[in-house]
Structure 1
Amino acid sequence: MTRHVAFLILLIASSLYAAMRGGRPEQIGAATLFGGAWASVFAADPTRAHFRQLETGILIIDMVLLAIFLWLAIRSTRFWPIWVAALLQAEVFIHVGQIVVPAAGWKAYMNALAVWGWVAQIVLIVATWRHRQRLAQQGSDASWKGGPASRPPIQRG
């Protein structure tokens, strides 16, 4: 099995698990990672050899994904989106490295970008599993900061 097929299986499995068993932040994260992975496949410039120079389309996608996960980190009650945002920031830095040192080698550029996608999928699986644990232990798991569900109940009398 090639690493592409293995990643596709992991991508589909983690996305389905988060979509079916996760809270709203996990579902948004799954859709974002799934969409970003597929968009990246089509964003690579087909008129030239891939990863031989800066992949501008993939850089733009990574920056959009980073923005979405930063938003999730700020708005949701979850800690895991900041981890995925950090992984995406590492990917953006790798693109910057390709600009600064274009002779570093296309395989290093390609593999350095790919490794973070694997880790992000694993973070999503663990995040969804933790959400299920909180639901089982506490009966609820507030998804968003500042909403009525995230405030403690008012004590009267």
Structure 2
Amino acid sequence: MSLQIILALLFDVTLLLTCGYAALKGGRPERVGAAINLIASVVTTALRLMDASYFAPAETITLLIDLAVAGGFYWLGVTTIRFWPVWAAGFAVADLFMSIFGALLPRVPLFAYHTGLGIYAYLALGALSLGTFRLPANAEPYIRNGSRRLWVQHLKETT
């Protein structure tokens, strides 16, 4: 079994464990973050299995998926009271830069390029895991929901 297959399987297991943990133990922002990660990973993997050209740096559809992931985490970061989506958005933006620079520097080996992308993907999953872990099991409903509107509404009611 090649190193690339082992790394891909390791990522898939980590992705499923992290997203499952976020879906079961997290609040609304964690479930949305898990969905963003899962959907982007499944769509990207399906594209790459259908056509090997999607492995290339800055391939248009893959770049659009990465842009959607960065936008999704950005949206999550500005609409929730959680801090982990800001980190995940930052890692997604770094992933975008890695893809663009991979296309601009054609002598970079594909293995190095994909390893760099994998590092940022693991860091985004780590942010999701840490955010889920830090959410108390007995959190109030407005905390579990994570909405800034509900949080502001709760502050107005308590003062």
Q: TM-score, normalised by structure 2?
A: 0.84
**Counterpart position of 1:21:** 25
* Structure of higher CA gyration radius: 1
- Shift in Å at residue 146 of structure 1? 2.2
CA contact (8 A) 1:73 1:79 kept: yes
- Structure 2 residues without counterparts, runs of 5 or longer: none
Task: Indicate if the aligned counterparts of 2:81 and 2:147 stay in contact, CA closer than 8 A.
Answer: yes
Shift, 1:20, TM fit: 1.1
Hey, what's the Cα distance between the residues in 2 that align with 1:112 and 1:97? 11
Paired with 1:103 and 1:113, the residues of 2 have a C-alpha distance of 16
Contact kept in structure 2, 1:44 and 1:58, CA below 8 Å: no
SS of the residue 1:104 aligns to: coil
Aligned-residue sequence identity (percent) comes to 25
Q: Which residue of 1 aligns with 2:146?
A: 143
Describe the SS at the equivalent of 1:44: helix
* Change in CA separation of 1:118 and 1:154 when aligned onto 2, cut-off 3 Å: closer
Mark the runs of 5 or more structure 1 residues left unpaired by the alignment: none
Identify the match of residue 100 of structure 2 among 96, 99, 121.
Answer: 96
- For 1:86 and 1:80, locate their aligned partners in 2 and report how far apart those are by CA, in whole Å: 10
Aligned residues: 153
Q: Are 1:91 and 1:113, in contact at CA under 8 Å, matched by a contact in 2? A: yes
CA RMSD of aligned residues (A): 2.4
Q: Which of 7, 10, 15 is the matching residue for 2:14?
A: 10
Question: Is 1:117 aligned to residue 134 of structure 2?
Answer: no
Partner Cα distance (2:82, 2:32) in 1: 12
Q: Decide which moves more: 112-121 or 62-71.
A: 112-121
TM-score, structure 1 as length reference: 0.84
1:143 counterpart letter in structure 2: G
